[in-house]
Amino acid sequence: MKTFLIDRYGDKAGVHAGETPEPRPGPDDVLIRIHAASVNALDLRLRDGAFKAFLPYRLPLVLGNDLAGVVVGTGPAVTRFAVGDEVYARPGKDRIGTFAERIAVHQNDVAVKPANLTMEEAASLPLVALTAWQALVERAQVRPGQKVLIHAGAGGLGTIAVQLAKHLGAHVAATASTAKTGLVKELGADVVVDYRQQDFETVLDGYDVVLDSLGGETLEKSLRVLKPGGKVVGVAGPPDAAFARELGLNPALRLAMSALSLRTRRRARQRDVTYSFLFMRADGDQLREITRLVEADAIRPVVDRVFPFDRTPEALEYLEKGRAKAGKVVITMA
């Protein structure tokens, strides 16, 4: 079947079309004919080898981390799905590869597609919606009345996180560029800081939670807008020891990963706040919760542009060069 893959890490022009064997579903797997998949920053980081020390994929590697499609086969132990079901999913981290015509995914990582979405809209959601859920609901346990800051509020993750935080009853601030402030307010943000005109650190204070997708200096400043007891959940790094334990890494790698975030964690402790790194995981049950919110119009996807499947490398380049105006970039097999 046709796929888009890499043969080696670090080659920015290395994503190319290739033929790979048809997937063979295991007993608990559903075989999905992919109708659409979304493009994520994670795909670019995987291409560049950012995670090769602790996610040892075998090359060549088919990229792609979320999908929407139709079930065309099931393993003998599958009980949740039947042939013909319209579904969406973020495959487990060890089984990625949605830039393909078909994929086998464990049934526990799959959910029925929201009935009110197109395939392209549904494909834009799994990775970013699960990230937002695991950061705000699971990790930060956001409660009504709390103050939450979402960085890059017009991005793929930000557009969903703003809506979810508002649904949870939070007072929501977000950062965005001048041209995108209107959209972010429309999605539910109470305060939008135009980062081209203002430094968010000078206008925000006393926040309970920050969701940081940028890292670096933005992460350092985010620690300073929290009130005592506040939490920063970072998805851009640096990774921490808890993440290393989740992956089951050996003691040497755990120590090395802990060292990467030592400075950030030390500064957090000095301010009586906490920092944790989140590498989202596949979870069909959480996707079903997200489906309910989508079908209740509490969350809506934002799709910037749709590319045909044979232009997947162009879609990745479009994302990498920052051309997306807001929301997600999607590829479609139609």
Domain boundaries, the chain: 2-125+301-332, 128-277
pLDDT number for residue 161: 98
From 213-222, 257-266, 316-325, the region with the lowest mean pLDDT: 257-266
pLDDT > 90 fraction of the chain, expressed in percent and rounded: 89
pLDDT digits (tens, 9 = 90+) for 13-54: 889 999 999 999 999 999 999 999 999 999 999 999 988 877
pLDDT number for residue 248: 80
**Stated pTM of the model:** 0.97
pLDDT number for residue 308: 98
pLDDT number for residue 254: 82
Average pLDDT of span 61-68: 98
Could you give the CA distance from residue 164 to residue 161 in angstroms, rounded to a whole number?
5
pLDDT number for residue 243: 84
Beta pairing, strands 328-332 & 303-308? parallel
Could you give the CA distance from residue 114 to residue 117 in angstroms, rounded to a whole number?
6
Average pLDDT of span 157-180: 98
Res 273 pLDDT > 90: yes
Res 69 pLDDT > 90: yes
Average pLDDT in the chain? 96
Instruction: Classify domain 2-125+301-332 at the CATH topology level.
Output: Quinone Oxidoreductase; Chain A, domain 1 (3.90.180)
pLDDT digits (tens, 9 = 90+) for 276-322: 999 999 999 999 999 999 999 999 999 999 999 999 999 999 999 99
Instruction: Please tell me which residue, 246 or 73, carries the higher pLDDT value.
Output: 73
By residue count, the chain amounts to 334
Instruction: Please tell me which residue, 175 or 237, carries the higher pLDDT value.
Output: 175
Could you give the CA distance from residue 305 to residue 333 in angstroms, rounded to a whole number?
14
Say which residues have a Cβ less than 8 Å from residue 281's Cβ, sequence separation at least 6.
92, 93, 130, 134
Of the candidates 170, 172, 125, 169, the residue with the CA atom closest to the CA atom of residue 150: 172
pLDDT number for residue 256: 82
The CATH architecture to which 128-277 belongs is 3-Layer(aba) Sandwich (3.40)
Q: Which residue has the tokens 């944790």?
A: 276
- Spell out the long-range contacts of 192-196 with Cβ–Cβ below 8 A and sequence spacing 24 or more: 192/153
CB 99 within 8 A of CB 331: yes
pLDDT-based confidence at residue 209 (cuts at 50, 70, 90)? very high
Res 87 pLDDT > 90: yes
What string of DSSP letters covers 37-61?
A: EEE-HHHHHHHTTTTTTTS-PPSSE
pLDDT number for residue 257: 80
Say which residues have a Cβ less than 8 Å from residue 65's Cβ, sequence separation at least 6.
38, 40, 42, 43, 90, 91, 96, 98, 126, 127
pLDDT-based confidence at residue 56 (cuts at 50, 70, 90)? confident
pLDDT number for residue 291: 98
pLDDT digits (tens, 9 = 90+) for 222-256: 999 999 999 999 999 898 888 888 878 788 878 88
pLDDT number for residue 213: 97
Average pLDDT of span 248-271: 88
